[in-house]
Amino acid sequence: MSLSTALEAIVAEAPGADGHRHIMRLAVNAAAAARNYPQPWHVELPVDTAERVTKLLTDLGDLATWGAPELGSLHEQLLAAEDRSASGSWYTPPELAQPLTRAALSEVTDLYLEDNPGDVLAVTVLDPAVGGGVFLVAAARLLAAAYTALLYGTNRPAPLTVQAVMPDVLKSCVYGIDTDPVAVDLAKSACWLETSGLTPIGWLDDNIIVGNALAGDLPPALTARLNSTGPLAIVGNPPYKDKAKGAAPWIEARRPKPGHRRTADELHRPSLDEFRIPGHGRTDGLMSNLYIYFWRWALWRAFETRLATASVAFITPSPWLTSPTFDGMRAFIRQSADRGAIINLTPEGKAPPGPTRLFPGVTLPLCAAVFTRCRGPQRQITAEVKHATVTGTRDEKFRQIEQLLSPAGQ
C-alpha cells in the first residue's frame, strides 16, 4: 500500500478532529509499546478500529524509532490527507532544528564550561509555535548532556545517566505553546519518550500549553520563571501566513502618539510600530504575515521584557532580509541584539527545485537566523551580523548548516 493510501485509510477509520487526535495518541502508544514503555494515553477508539490503525501504523515503519520528527510528520500528513488543499503546518526536520537549537543555546550559555550544574537548570527554552516539539527535544538532549557533564565531570555520560536527569531538565528548562491541541499532545509525547516513559504523560502540562502566543498566552510554569535572571532562548519555526491582518491585534495595534494617555498595557506589549518606517504606511499590508508578528513578539519577549542574556533563533521565509518593506524591522533587530547570524537556506529563490528543499512542501525561500543579546539594552550599538548561504541538495545543505552552526563554525 502506498503511503498516501495508508494515510487515507487511517483518516477514514476515525475522521474529524477528535478522530485525528486519538489516532495520534494511538501512534504514541504504539511507539511506546514498541520500546516496552507504558502506554501514556487513554485512546477513545473502538478496539477493532484501534487494531486496524495500529497495523497500518506498523506498516509505516519501525515504531520503536519514532520520536518528535516521525510523530510530527505523521500529524502533518494526516492533516493533508484530511484536506488535500490545506497548506499544512510544516514541521522542521531534526537536521535543521538540532543545529539551530544548539547555536541558540551556546549563544546564551557556554554548555562546555566547568560550572555549577544548577546553572544548566536555570536555562529556559521556549518554542512559541511548538508543533511536535522537535526544537524542545533537541534542547532537552543538549541541556541533559551538559547537566550530567557538570554533575559527573565527564563529557561522555552513560545514556542511562542522561535518561535519569531528563525529567528534571524537561520540567525546568523547556516550554511550548501551540494553538493546535494535537500538536500540544505530540510535543508532550515527544518529551515523554525522552524520559523513557518514566514520568506521567501530564508531567509537562504546565510547560507546554494550548494557547495563542500572539495574544500573550504563556505556560503557567513559565510566567514566574521569566522574572528570573537565567538565560532565555526562543526557538522555532513559526507559522507563515500572509494577509494575516487582524490575527494579532495586540501586536498590530499602534502605540499611542506622544502626549496621549498611555495605559500600562499599551506600554508593556510588543507593537509592529517598531518595525514601521514613518511615512511608509503602505507597507503595512506586506508586513501582515504571521511570521513577522512572531518575530516582533519574540524580540519583545527576549530583549524588551528582561535584562538577562537571551537569544531568538527562527526559521522563517526570507523576504525580510532584503525587501525595503522590512528596513525598519532589520534596523530594529540590529539595535535590539548584540550580534546575529543569518543563513540563506534557499539561494534558488521562489519555487526551488524539489531536491534542494529543506521542507519538501515549502516553495517559499527560507532563512535561519539567530540573534543574541548578552549585555542588556544598548541601543547605540548596532549588532554585527554574519551572513552565510547553503547550496546544493537537501543533504548537502544539512551538512553545511551543521558546520556553520557548530561551536567551531560560529
Least Cβ distance, residue 374 to ligand SAM (angstroms): 25
Residue whose CB is less far from ligand SAM, 133 or 352: 133
Least Cβ distance, residue 92 to ligand SAM (angstroms): 3
Residue whose CB is less far from ligand SAM, 324 or 361: 361
* Cell numbers found for residue 269: 506589549
Least Cβ distance, residue 258 to ligand SAM (angstroms): 31
Least Cβ distance, residue 340 to ligand SAM (angstroms): 20
Q: Which residues bind ligand SAM (CB under 6 A)?
A: 72, 89-92, 127-132, 134-135, 177-180, 183, 212-214, 236-237, 239
Residue whose CB is less far from ligand SAM, 162 or 362: 362
* Cell numbers found for residue 315: 526559521
Least Cβ distance, residue 375 to ligand SAM (angstroms): 29
Residue whose CB is less far from ligand SAM, 40 or 132: 132
Positive or negative: CA dihedral 37, 38, 42, 47: positive
Q: DSSP letters along 191-243, please?
A: HHHHTTT-S-GGGGTTTEEE--GGGT---HHHHHHTTSSS-EEEEE-----SS
Query: What is the spatial order of strands in the sheet that 208-210 belongs to?
Result: 208-210, 174-178, 124-127, 232-236, 310-317, 366-373, 339-344, 384-389
Residue whose CB is less far from ligand SAM, 214 or 404: 214
Residue whose CB is less far from ligand SAM, 50 or 296: 296
Residue whose CB is less far from ligand SAM, 179 or 356: 179
Residue whose CB is less far from ligand SAM, 161 or 271: 271
Residue whose CB is less far from ligand SAM, 103 or 308: 103
Asked whether the beta carbons of 133 and 188 are under 8 A apart, the reply is: yes
C-alpha to C-alpha distance for 62 and 163, rounded to whole angstroms: 22
Q: DSSP letters along 36-92, please?
A: T--------S-HHHHHHHHHHHHHHS-GGG--HHHHHHHHHHHHHHH-TT-----PP
Least Cβ distance, residue 307 to ligand SAM (angstroms): 26
Least Cβ distance, residue 97 to ligand SAM (angstroms): 6
Least Cβ distance, residue 75 to ligand SAM (angstroms): 9
Identify the H or E element spanning 343.
Answer: strand 339-344
Contacts 24+ apart (CB under 8 A), 278-286: 280/325, 280/328, 283/324, 283/325, 284/245, 285/243, 285/245, 286/323, 286/325
Find the residue with minimal CB distance to ligand SAM: 131
Positive or negative: CA dihedral 87, 88, 94, 97: positive
Question: Which ranges of 109-180 does DSSP label H, i.e. alpha helix?
Answer: 117-121, 134-152, 159-173
Least Cβ distance, residue 82 to ligand SAM (angstroms): 14
Select from 61, 2, 133, 8 the least CA-distant residue to 27: 61
